[in-house]
Amino acid sequence: MTARESARERGERNGRARPVAGVDTRTRIQEVALELFTQQGYEKTSLREIADRLGVTKAALYYHFKSKEEIVSSTVEDFLTDIDELVAWATEQPRTTETRHELLRRYSDLVDRRFPAMRFFQQNPTGTHKTQLGEEFKERMQAMHGLLYDDGPPAQRIRALLAIVGMHMGTVIFENDDYGTPEELKQATLDVAFELVDRA
């Protein structure tokens, strides 16, 4: 089950998010909070609303997070950790077409799993700015970018960059369109990314 599907299936029942088997409380809080931030706006969403959507008390929410800033910061930090692990793996591999393709596949899976976070960052950047982690995310993207091309003219670097950006944008832009199933869109995005890095 993809992150996108789990978010849709969670939905709302009587104004509260349904529990999801296998998802810990901290992750549920992050996902539900990001959904509300995206729907209502970061500034307009309160911790009380997040607790109500989850079906827990505000005190129970406070056990995990003391503020909205903590929720967003923790989400960014989790994403950064995932990217660090991926970059560390790719750095140890030979710089081949196969490695670049596998790096993109793994990053595609990561973006899919972190779909609520990607949607929030794209549509509601105010909260991201408040975390002061935007620069760190940029650094991770630069590290990944550097693994997707060999030295060459600017056009090669731009193609490698577009391969990454395409995954981010496609996740959000085509979320509710009828161009295909999530799996078909994911594969189409990967195919385009492969073409871009192969030319780079």
d(CA 105, CA 79): 16
Q: Quickly list H helices, the chain.
A: 3-10, 25-40, 47-54, 58-64, 68-91, 97-113, 115-123, 125-131, 134-146, 154-173, 182-199
* pLDDT at 137 (0 to 100): 83
CA angle 9, 65, 133 (to 5 degrees): 90
* pLDDT at 112 (0 to 100): 84
* pLDDT at 124 (0 to 100): 61
pLDDT tens across the length of the chain (200 residues) = 344 444 334 333 334 344 433 458 898 999 899 989 888 888 899 999 999 999 999 999 999 999 998 998 888 889 889 999 999 999 999 999 999 999 999 999 998 888 777 777 766 665 555 556 678 888 999 999 999 998 888 999 999 999 999 888 776 666 666 667 878 888 989 999 999 999 86
The pTM of the full predicted model, rounded to 2 decimals, is 0.75
Residue 197's nearest CA partner among 118, 111, 125, 99 is 99
Name all domains of the chain by residue range, CATH numbers in brackets: 3-64 (1.10.10.60), 68-199 (1.10.357)
d(CA 197, CA 126): 32
Contact between residue 83 and residue 110 where contact means Cβ atoms under 8 Å apart: yes
Contact between residue 196 and residue 160 where contact means Cβ atoms under 8 Å apart: yes
What single DSSP character describes residue 56?
Answer: S
* pLDDT at 129 (0 to 100): 56
* pLDDT at 20 (0 to 100): 37
Name residues whose C-beta falls within 8 Å of residue 153's C-beta, 6 or more positions apart in sequence: none
* pLDDT at 177 (0 to 100): 66
* pLDDT at 92 (0 to 100): 97
DSSP letters for 60-73: HHHHH-SSHHHHHH
* pLDDT at 168 (0 to 100): 83
* pLDDT at 75 (0 to 100): 87
